[in-house]
């Protein structure tokens, strides 16, 4: 289980998540993503970061089992801080970040890709935010960067998933390719970006963040406040226990 970084042509940093079986990241994993992205951008030779994953899917969110087997609130607080750190590191990365999404991208996974600059996905990729079914909130900030407001709300309330191919018309997913071509397609785009003047690229990233209509860091932090309320009231524990025990949402 690891977060690793590979340098390609001295200009592209490829950050890979590999936490079998489903890339549900533990607390340490979220902070490791943040560190890997941040460290990559500190190298003045790096012009673009590619975020990818090994295994069945890109990311299944937080490790709920870790949260439920940990006494007290340390794992809950750690997961919230870790997700915030990872999302923030991607958004504030000094160079563009390309997401290469395979299979499922759920919960915290949407938080990751929603803050990336460009998304390329495999033909089996799909996105969803099942937070309501887990007694939590979060990542609506990032889902709203992928789809229009009313669709975002419908997906959020229902926990429905949406295929990567259906996001192409919305402009949030650039391209859908066969799974065995995903890395090739992501690196091709990264190479096109990396061919640009790094001084201009870094200025462009900062400028584009500066004209964003929503402060994603503050918006996500606001969402997290409601997650803490649900935890303090005991509601979230009920939902997480049901998921760990049966793999299904708590019946209402």
Q: What's the rounded Cα separation, in Å, for the pair 43 and 188?
A: 21
- The alpha-helical segments, DSSP class H, found in the chain are 27-42, 64-69, 74-91, 108-114, 140-143, 149-158, 164-167, 182-194, 198-210, 216-232, 235-246
What's the pLDDT score for residue 228? Answer: 87
- Return d(Cα 16, Cα 3) in angstroms, integer: 6
3-state secondary structure 86-129: HHHHHHCCCCCEEEEECCEEECHHHHHHHCCCEEEEECCCEEEC
Asked if omega into 21 is within 30° of 0 (cis), the reply is yes
pLDDT of residue 10: 96
Supply the pLDDT for residue 252: 63
Smallest CA-to-CA distance from 189 within 170, 204, 173, 200 is with 173
Please write the tens of the pLDDT for every residue from 78-88: 999 999 999 99
Give every residue of the chain whose pLDDT is below 50, as ranges.
none
Span between the terminal Cα atoms of the chain, in Å? 36
Q: Which of these, 141, 105, 127, 117, lies nearest to 25 by C-alpha position?
A: 105
Q: Which residue has the tokens 């089996």?
A: 124
Nearest Cα neighbor of 179 from 52, 14, 44, 69 is 52
What is the rounded CA–CA span in Å between residue 144 and residue 150?
A: 9
pLDDT at 240: 84
pLDDT tens digits along 92-131: 999 999 999 999 999 999 999 999 999 999 999 999 999 9
Domain annotation for the chain: domains and CATH numbers:
2-180+204-210 (3.90.226.10)
Q: What is the pLDDT of residue 251?
A: 66
Secondary structure letter of residue 250 according to DSSP: P
As given in the structure block, the two tokens for residue 240 are 């997480």
């Amino acid at each position: 289980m690891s977060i690793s970084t590979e340098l390609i042509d001295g200009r592209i940093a490829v950050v890979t998540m590999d936490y079998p079986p489903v890339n549900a990241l533990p607390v340490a994993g979220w902070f490791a993503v943040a560190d890997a992205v941040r460290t990559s951008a500190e190298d003045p030779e790096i012009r673009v970061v590619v975020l990818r994953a090994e295994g069945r899917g890109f990311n299944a969110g937080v490790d709920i089992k870790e949260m439920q087997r940990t006494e007290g609130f340390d794992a809950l607080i750690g997961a919230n801080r870790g997700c915030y750190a990872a999302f923030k590191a991607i958004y504030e990365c000094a160079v563009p970040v390309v997401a290469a999404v395979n299979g499922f991208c759920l919960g915290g996974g949407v938080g990751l890709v929603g803050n990336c600059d460009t998304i390329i996905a495999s033909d089996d990729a799909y996105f969803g935010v099942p937070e309501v079914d887990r007694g939590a909130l979060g990542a609506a900030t990032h889902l709203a960067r992928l789809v229009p407001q009313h669709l975002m709300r419908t997906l959020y309330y229902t926990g429905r998933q949406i295929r990567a191919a259906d996001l192409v018309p919305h402009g949030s997913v650039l391209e859908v390719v066969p799974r065995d071509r995903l890395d090739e397609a992501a690196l091709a785009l990264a190479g096109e970006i990396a061919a640009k003047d790094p001084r201009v690229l870094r200025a462009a990233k900062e400028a584009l963040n500066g004209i964003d209509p929503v402060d994603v860091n503050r918006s996500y932090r606001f969402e997290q406040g409601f997650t803490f309320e649900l935890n303090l009231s005991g509601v979230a524990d009920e939902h997480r226990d049901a998921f760990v025990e049966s793999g299904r949402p708590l019946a209402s």
